[in-house]
């Protein structure tokens, strides 16, 4: 087990999930639910399932594309999205 990778992944996903639509939906469900543990279990299992799909998909994709190419593409995508968000906010279209 690569603990450094596990902790880095945890920290990255934890920070990325704070305040996103998934967390807000879970907050909404728990606000009106009688069983908050059911909401927690459902949302936790959903996150585990989507993470499993990402791991399996990532593993399959690395058979076709090198990991360094995937990392570069992800980096470029994040920069492009960031520039697009900044540009659309500046022009008032967001």
pLDDT digit string, tens, across residues 4-59 = 999 999 998 888 888 888 889 999 999 988 999 999 999 999 999 999 999 999 89
Q: Helices in the chain by DSSP H: which ranges? A: 3-17, 21-32, 36-61, 67-91
CB 43 within 8 A of CB 22: yes
Predicted TM-score of the model (pTM): 0.67
Confidence of residue 94 (pLDDT cuts 50, 70, 90): low
Give residue 85's pLDDT: 86
CA nearest neighbour of 43 among 10, 15, 51: 51
Q: Please compute, for residue 65, the number of CA atoms within 13 A of its CA located in the half-sphere on the CB side.
A: 11
Query: If you search the block for the tokens 């690569």, which residue do you land on?
Result: 2
């Amino acid at each position: 087990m690569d603990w450094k990778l596990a902790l880095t992944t945890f920290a990255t996903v934890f920070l990325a999930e704070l305040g996103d639509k998934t967390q807000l939906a879970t907050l909404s469900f728990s606000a009106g639910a009688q069983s908050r543990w059911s909401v927690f279990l459902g949302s936790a299992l959903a996150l585990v399932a989507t993470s499993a799909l990402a791991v399996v998909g990532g593993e399959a994709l690395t058979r076709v594309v090198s990991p360094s190419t995937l990392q570069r593409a992800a980096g470029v995508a994040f920069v492009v999205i960031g520039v697009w968000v900044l540009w659309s906010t500046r022009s008032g279209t967001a």
